[in-house]
Amino acid sequence: MQKKTGFGIFCNFHLSTRTMDEQLNIGTKILNGFLRVMVTVLVLILASVVIALILALFGFWS
């Protein structure tokens, strides 16, 4: 079931009542999960490097 919605002359589009998860296939879901894990790992690595630099600045390892 689709509802037709329009905002003026140039923006006519159809809104679907299904959720986004129902519209994605399994390959896209796997890719999104993999990319989410990779971004999380990269953010953790970046945070650990920044923390290590701050600790080195205060002489934690010397």
pLDDT value at position 6?
A: 56
Per-residue pLDDT at 55 exceeds 70: yes
Q: Quick one: how far is CA 56 from the chain centroid?
A: 32
Q: Quick check: 17 and 2 in contact, CB under 8 A? A: yes
Nearest to 5 by CA among 17, 18, 20: 17
pLDDT value at position 44?
A: 98
pLDDT value at position 23?
A: 79
For the chain, the distance separating the N- and C-terminal CA atoms, rounded to the nearest angstrom, is 67
Segment 12-38, tens digit of pLDDT: 555 555 566 667 899 999 999 999 999
pTM confidence score: 0.59
